[in-house]
Structure formats: C-alpha cells, structure tokens
Amino acid sequence: MCLRESVEDNEIEIIPDALQLPACDLSKVDNCRKTVYLSYQQWLLDRLTDSDSTRKSAWKRDYSSSVVYEKSIVPYRSEFKKMLGFWSEPESRPEVDIICEETIHEQEEFVAKRVHFEAVPGLRTYCLELIPKRVYSAPGLIVQHGYADTPELVCGYCKGSNLKDYSSRSLGLRAVLRNYYVVAVCHPYGYGDLEERSGSLPDQVHLGFNYGKNRLHRLACLAGGTAFGLDLLATSRGIDLLIKRGCTTKVGIYGLSQGGQTALYLPALDTRISASVCSAYFNQRFFKLVQSQSGLSYLDSCEEDKFFNKTISLFSDSDIVSLIAPRAFAIEAGRKDLSVLFKHSLSEYEQAKTHFEKLGVADRIEFIAHEEGHISATKKAFEFLDRHLK
C-alpha cells in the first residue's frame, strides 16, 4: 500500500513549451564528439606505443645455462598463464574422461576415429585421431585447425581441405602418412549450418560470422579468463589423450593461422611439447593488432578474441618464443600471405632467434619460407619435425 502510494505521488514532470531550450547545432555536437573520440584513441595508442617500446626492459632472462634460463623465465610463464586464464598443470589433472568414440575411416596406413572427451569436468570437446598402423614407433603430433575450421577440415575430410589458398592442405593426413600419431582437437566457433567453416549461431546469423566465438570470449572474460585460454587447455588435453593411448614418444604441434597461434602459445605453457611449427601466424604483434593498414589489423576486424591485456606490454610473438626455448620451434611463412606480412614475420623471427643463439642451440629454430599464401604445405616443416621428434 505504501509502495503504491509513493509511486502514484511521484509524477513525471514535463517541461512546458515556454521553458524548452533551443535545439543545438548537431554539426557542432558531432565535432565535439569527434574531438573527444580521437583524443581517447590517440591517448590509448600513445600508451600502447610506450608499452611496446619498453617491453624488452621488463624481461630479465639469464642465458648462462639452460637450467638457469628455465628458472629465470618461470615468473613470465606464470604471468602468461594468468593472462590467458583457465590453465591447469598437466600433473594436477585427472585422466582424460572419454565420453564416446567411433571409427570414421580406415585404410591401409591408418585408422581415423572421432573421440568426444571432457577437457575439464563439465567442459566437453572432441578430436579426430589419425592412428598409424605402425603406432609403436610413431611420435605424437597435435594438428590444430584455424579460425572457424574443424578437425575434419584440417585432417583432409572436407572438400575445402586442399584449397589453393587459406588452406591447411590436409595437414593431418600428410602427418599420419609420415607415421605421426595425429590428434586434432576442436576449438568451437559456431554451429547450426552445413558449411565446412562456421562462425555464426542458429537464429543469430544476422550478428555475423564472428559472433559465435565473440560470444564465448565475452563469457570467458566474465568468468576470469579468455576463450583462447580454454582452447589451449582443450588442446593440451589432447596430449593427455595421446599419453592415455600409450604414446610415450615425443610430442609436437603443427598449426595453421589461428592454429598457428596455438602452435606458438601452447608450447609456452605445456613443456611436454618438444617441437612446434607455427604456420601463417607469426608476426609483429603490435602492428597486427592496432595498425590500420589494408585490413590487416585486428583492431578494425570483428574478431574480439585476439586481444589480451599484456600482449603489448609483455608478450610479443618473439617473447612468447623465449618461453619455448631451448625446445625446437619453426615459423612457416608465405611470401603471398595476405593476412601475415612476410617481412614482419621474418623480422620477428630475427628477434626470436637471439634467444636460441644465446643458449647455444641456434639449430633448434628455423624460418621456413615458401612462395605461396596462407597455407601449410612445405616438406621442410615436416623435415624439421622429423629431426626433433623422431
């Protein structure tokens, strides 16, 4: 009763016509908005530029020996884990819980299975396993698909698996035929259609191709991490699956595009990975994130999941490589790649190489150039993996 009376007594006032103010000049308002917007933008860009210029001084690496070096980078690996979120150490995890599995294909050289499992209790994903018939001698290889792709696409089971550009060229198939035990873990982007690449969601197609991943990333941020942090944990559980299957030899990773990002980030977190090939991703990260040129910048894209709070101030691509050294790492780059500038990939490699040189293991890092575009297609990449995994 009291509430109803208080609401009824609280009348909404209406300004009489005689007291209304004259309409403003909206062109002047918009000029003010422009001034403020551009001021915010420039202030933030200046701050990021300063962070990028002082990043090197934030690192205190000790190259006197591999053992001492490993100890010196421990605090930075901890910061890296915090930035991405949701990480758990392999030794603290329960055994992988396989929900179900099915054989989807078999031929003379290998068997292919689709395996659903829990990454952590309540979080489900799936992978393709390509199991060579000579499994007793096969090293493990994580094969990671790119943005909005699937394990089926990266392993060769889709029409688009062998496109001329923006293609993994059946990376999983090529690996298993070289006697690698392949695991390709799903990173979710979208669902609800029969396309080979999917990023939208049912009944929300109007929100765009990137909406599915953006939605997960927003939820992950609210939960204290990032969507990519969950993806990395899921792929690391793929290594746990290899171990469960009895793969006791070395494990490597090979990924294209956003799969290349996984091939850079995951070895920095999971030291069980002995060798990595990062294809069509490695770059000058500050430029790629915020420099607006020819559609290359993520700042002007719809992909929200690329932004982490310490990327500019602490974790450039070459800095992340320093969390991998002295383990083996290779960059695969195409001169005609429209998403990753070749010259920037090469210059960042020169920065990354210094860590291996100072540790006396310069033969464990390699820059693999090719004359094509956004693809993984080089024999040299597999030769690199063979040297360090077989």
Instruction: State the chain's maximal CA–CA distance in angstroms.
Output: 90
For 217, the 3-state DSSP assignment is helix
**Residues 147-160: pLDDT tens digits?**
999 999 999 999 99
Closest Cα to residue 212, out of 192, 232, 238, 195?
192
For 97, the 3-state DSSP assignment is strand
User: What is the C-alpha separation between 138 and 180, in angstroms, rounded?
Assistant: 5
DSSP character string of 9-38: H-PPP---GGGPPPPP-HHHHHHHHHHHHH
User: What is the C-alpha separation between 372 and 218, in angstroms, rounded?
Assistant: 35
Q: State the pLDDT confidence band at 194, using cuts at 50, 70 and 90.
A: confident
**Residues 72-121: pLDDT tens digits?**
999 999 999 999 999 999 999 999 999 999 999 999 999 999 999 999 99
Predicted confidence at residue 8, as pLDDT, reads: 64
Predicted TM-score (pTM) of this structure: 0.94
C-alpha torsion 91→266→219→213, nearest 10 = -140
**Residues 14-57: pLDDT tens digits?**
888 888 889 999 999 999 999 999 999 999 999 999 999 999 99
Q: State the pLDDT confidence band at 6, using cuts at 50, 70 and 90.
A: low
Q: Is the pLDDT of residue 368 over 60?
A: yes
| Candidate from 110-124, 130-144, 276-290, 355-369 with smallest mean pLDDT | 130-144
* Structural domains of the chain, with CATH: 61-389 (3.40.50.1820)
**Residues 221-264: pLDDT tens digits?**
999 999 999 999 999 999 999 999 998 889 999 999 999 999 99
Query: Tell me, what amino acid is at 46?
Result: D
Judged on CB neighbours under 10 Å (0-12, 13-18, 19+), 300 is exposed
Mean pLDDT of 348-357: 98
C-alpha torsion 48→351→171→239, nearest 10 = -80
